[in-house]
Amino acid sequence: MMTKEQVIKVLKNVNSPEAEEIFNKADQIREKIFKDEVHLRAIIEISNYCVKDCLYCGLNRENKKLKRYRMEREEILKAAEKASNFGFKTIVIQSGEDPSISSDFIGEIIAKIKEDFDVAVTLSLGERKFEDFLKWKEIGADRYLLKFETSDLNLYQKSHPSLKVASNKRIEILKNLKEIGYEAGSGIMVGIPFQTYESLAEDLMLISELDLDMIAIGPYIPHKETAFSHDLEKIEIKEIERTTLLLISLARILNPTANIPSTTALSVLDPKEGRAMGLKCGANVVMPDLTPEPYKSMYEIYDGKTKSKEWDEEEQKKLHQMLKEIGRKPSLKKGFRISRQN
């Protein structure tokens, strides 16, 4: 076990021999648990409306330049069918925090997807009422993603100016989600303005303490229509890409059986290598964007996110080719968390 001070030290020295050892150890653990299998999860971004004020995120409610959309039921089901036909065994229903999407609407989508396709359903819809979580679970949802973003409550408040006290509800919500039977996923951003090395080390400890089934760690990428894009000189974290990779490795070492994606933001920051690098540093999951156009281009969380093209045979081939090049293959299973007894 590393102490907090040791974690901070290695995060500040991402090119040290100690860091190299961590990268290697994480890859070994990943291989021991998952062999060469990579779980592919298809994301469908059903709405980019958002009531939140996150200063780092392009979907935040203050961004009046963004054209907003909500997908229709039939459009969502068509995208799900496409994902299933491409062989995806998990469908992730994601959106901005959009309370105008009724819990019944989501319930019907879950029911229909579970009825028509042999897939797991993951929800990523932000903070909702406990009854909604319960209802969706009963209908058949399998997993819920809710990033706590940072464990530093002052930084969380600073990046959400309407919060009256330094707090983060999401940590409590994650515990509830687990209790009612969801596989729960959470994670953080690396390199947001005002974030410290110490808080990253604490994030890592919180991630492990929560015993998450899925852990997503991604680099911060500025979005020009957000307040934080004017505070880039306040970024303390150096070498954000490598620091992200190192945190993925540490998360793998501390959480051997968790499903850990090579995050989309990594692949946007480094279009050529990012995704493969994540997979080589301990990640075992890739989550491609299956949102149809014109919506895909409107889900602009950070600059550059919407540049990739709509999912098709060619994109699928490129992904499979990349996996092959690094000695991996797509899993044919739904990819639930391996029981800890194994």
Which residues of this chain interact with ligand 5AD, rule CB under 6 A? 56-57, 147, 149, 189, 218, 220-221, 223, 265, 301-302
**CA gap 263, 277 in Å, rounded:** 10
CA 300 to chain centre: 15
In the block, tokens 């903070």 appear at 127
Among residues 29 and 265, whose Cβ is nearest to ligand 5AD?
265
**CA gap 332, 335 in Å, rounded:** 8
Among residues 44 and 265, whose Cβ is nearest to ligand 5AD?
265
Least Cα distance to 17 among 264, 306, 309, 246 occurs for 246
In whole angstroms, the minimum distance from the beta carbon of 185 to ligand 5AD comes to 11
CB atoms within 10 A of CB 251: 25
Among residues 37 and 53, whose Cβ is nearest to ligand 5AD?
53
In whole angstroms, the minimum distance from the beta carbon of 38 to ligand 5AD comes to 21
Among residues 206 and 301, whose Cβ is nearest to ligand 5AD?
301
The length of the chain is: 342
In whole angstroms, the minimum distance from the beta carbon of 196 to ligand 5AD comes to 18
In whole angstroms, the minimum distance from the beta carbon of 1 to ligand 5AD comes to 27
In the block, tokens 């940072």 appear at 150
Among residues 232 and 326, whose Cβ is nearest to ligand 5AD?
232
Which residues of the chain form beta strands (DSSP E)? Answer: 37-47, 90-95, 120-124, 143-145, 183-190, 214-219, 285-286, 329-330
Copy the structure tokens of residue 216.
């997503």
In whole angstroms, the minimum distance from the beta carbon of 179 to ligand 5AD comes to 22
